[in-house]
Amino acid sequence: MKTEAADSEAFNPYAAPAARVDEVAPAGPDPVFFAVSMLKLTVMGVFTFGFYNVYWFYKNWKCVQQLGDDVNAPIRAVFYPLVSYGLFKRVREHAARVGVEAGFPAGILAISLFLIYVVAQYVDPSGLSALSGVLLLLPVQSTVNAINRKLAPKADRNARFSGVNIFWLVVGGIILMLAVIGNVVDE
């Protein structure tokens, strides 16, 4: 039978931990920017007619918020053709701070994205030209993935297609097929 005095002697809040710390794998930090594989970004961007681009921008602006910038992620995501330069510039700056080479020109990508958006809205009523907008996000995502690999090597790469992703791929695939058939029949 233990006494209260024995219990107080057994517990020493100043003693070093008894468990071996090196046996526990450290929990990797979350990715700095939105992690998504290049294949998933491309497929989702094409099959959702660019709606995935809005989601991509939203997730990345949320990451910018977590880095300390005071931005409104939903508004910036909706108006991404107008504010994409701000995100691209932040990704380049962060890459430079952590020693990752950013192989994309932020200004040229932002202007190109804006022009594709204008063409898709006002020149190409089918919206098929908007599908090329996702291609402009690939160099940025490549840099984002390099940053995440360096700073959060154990974080999820987001390469698998979830059930929701597959649902939107099927719906978008049907719409894309109908749009292509409609364009072929009109000509």
Asked if residue 101 is part of any domain, the answer here is yes
Asked if residue 25 is part of any domain, the answer here is no
How many domains are there within the chain?
1
Asked if residue 152 is part of any domain, the answer here is yes
Asked if residue 20 is part of any domain, the answer here is no
Asked if residue 181 is part of any domain, the answer here is yes
- What's the confidence (pLDDT) of residue 149? 95
Which structural domain range is residue 159 located in? 37-186
Burial class (CB in 10 A: 0-12, 13-18, 19+), 128: middle
Asked if residue 10 is part of any domain, the answer here is no
Asked if residue 105 is part of any domain, the answer here is yes
Tens-place pLDDT, residues 71-82: 999 999 999 999
Mean pLDDT of the chain: 86
Tens-place pLDDT, residues 8-19: 557 777 766 665
